[in-house]
Amino acid sequence: MSAAPHLVIAAGGTGGHMFPAQALAEAMLARGWRVTLSTDARGARYSGNFPAQVAIRQVASATFARGGLLAKLIAPFRIIAGIGAAKINFFRDRPTVVAGFGGYPSIPALAAAWALRVPRLIHEQNGVLGRVNQLFARHVHAVACGTWPTELPSGVTGEPTGNPVRAAVLEKAGAPFPGEGNAPHILVMGGSQGARVLSDVVPEAIGRLAGPIREGLRVSHQARPEDHDRVVAAYATAGIEADVQSFFEDVPDRIAASQLVISRAGASSVADISVIGRPSILIPLAIAVRDEQTANAKALVDADAAILIPESALDPASLSEQIMTVLTTPGAAFKMHQNALQTAIPDATERLTALVEDLKERAEK
């Protein structure tokens, strides 16, 4: 095999796990490392934006959180099979370091790394450890924390790295704020799990906006495919120009072009909003068992860069009022833009790469 050091990235199949994993992959390739992404079939579908040099290795995995009784009974056997396959892969091409980003698809590679005594770390994007990262927190050499402070198990020490953002986001870091004289642009992002409630409420809230703010108002709205037509119809009825898609390939560009982002408080979304520096209204996902999205939003809210609305309090009238406050109060949006930048950690990727390099050096001593 190549003499270049080899990083295996283990990550699940959601953007929250895959975006920071992609950022680390890009950085380690630039440092001369070989990089392999270890994931399951679902995760592989989200890997299209990884650099072409990254080897994609699928291993069996499963979750206990979805599916019926049979799926839950089969899950342990699929995970065990995935661990066995990961061990075989590691014997053939031993990693220098394994980095886990959470999600059930990260179990096989992390478990194999533990069994074979490969240096390993986990990165937790949220302010509360996910289930898989909780499982491995005491069995890795470093716990990198994207949101600080992070709730950690007793005796576990975390490294506050921040959440790495993709190169496309860094290209827009601190982008000039569109002035108040520009036609307002609102970006609505819901994430794969939380888009429906925003599709239920946001179009009506924006339709209630009155006065000059409506002149030239544009909306980019990310909606689930099954909600697309009704969201399009709602904006059309309100006379609002809206681009409604199930997935935006150019999210960094759209954040940079916006005067306001209405979003769930997923860790990657919060990091992108902070690094680019935009006012936001954040609605944490109510079904999150550990309420991690409220923890994710805390830094922006405390800095007066974001308004937090609990999902239980979300309704068109109150949301419309908050939008009006941000976009019509002189200087308010620009001040929130400046405050958001103060919370950003644009060098999060460098902090995480330094941890990877440190594990390599410690193993060589």
Count of CB atoms situated within 10 Å of the CB of 41 = 12
Q: Give the pLDDT band of residue 236 (cuts 50, 70, 90).
A: very high
pLDDT single digits (tens) 39-51 = 887 777 778 889 9
The distance of Cα 315 from the centroid of its chain, to the nearest Å, equals 25
The percent of residues above 70 in pLDDT, for the chain, comes to 93
Confidence of residue 193 (pLDDT cuts 50, 70, 90): low
Q: What is the pLDDT of residue 247?
A: 87
pLDDT of residue 192: 63
Residue identified by tokens 């240096």 is: 119
Mutual orientation of helices 228-238 and 191-207 as an angle, nearest 10°?
20
Cα–Cα distance for residue pair 197/205, rounded to 1 Å = 12
Each residue's pLDDT tens digit, 23-79: 999 999 999 999 999 988 777 777 888 999 999 998 876 555 555 565 566 667 678
Q: Where are the beta strands (DSSP E) in the chain?
A: 6-10, 34-39, 55-58, 97-100, 120-124, 142-145, 158-160, 185-189, 218-222, 241-245, 260-263, 280-282, 306-308
pLDDT value for 81: 85
- Residue scoring higher pLDDT (100 or 289): 100
Residue 2: the pLDDT is 64
Angle value at C-alpha 13, between 12 and 16, nearest 5 degrees = 80
Q: What is the CA radius of gyration of the chain?
A: 21
Query: In 3D, which of 38, 54, 53, 42 has the Cα closest to residue 15?
Result: 42
Positive or negative, the CA dihedral 355, 363, 4, 140 is negative
Confidence (pLDDT) at 220: 98
Residue 87 and residue 95: Cα distance in Å, rounded?
11
For the beta sheet containing 6-10, the strands, ordered from the edge strand earlier in sequence to the opposite edge, are 55-58, 34-39, 6-10, 97-100, 120-124, 142-145, 158-160
Residue 180: per-residue pLDDT:
66
pLDDT at 158 over 90: yes
Collapsed DSSP state (helix, strand, coil) of residue 265: coil
pLDDT digits (tens, 9 = 90+) for 263-275: 999 999 999 999 9
Looking at residue 195, what is its pLDDT?
A: 78
**pLDDT for residue 44:** 76
Q: How far apart are the first and last CA of the chain?
A: 22
Torsion sign over Cα 59, 65, 68, 73: positive
- pTM as predicted: 0.90
Identify the bridge partners of residue 158 per DSSP, sorted by sequence position.
Answer: 143
Asked if pLDDT for residue 97 goes beyond 70, the answer is: yes
Please, are residues 219 and 241 in contact by the beta-carbon 8 Å criterion? yes
Q: Are 23 and 144 in contact (CB under 8 A)?
A: no
When the pLDDT of each residue in the chain is averaged and rounded to a whole number, the result is 91
- Return d(Cα 27, Cα 315) in angstroms, integer: 42
CB atoms within 10 A of CB 90: 20
For the segment 248-266, what is each residue's pLDDT rounded down to a tens digit?
A: 989 999 999 999 999 999 9
DSSP at 227: G
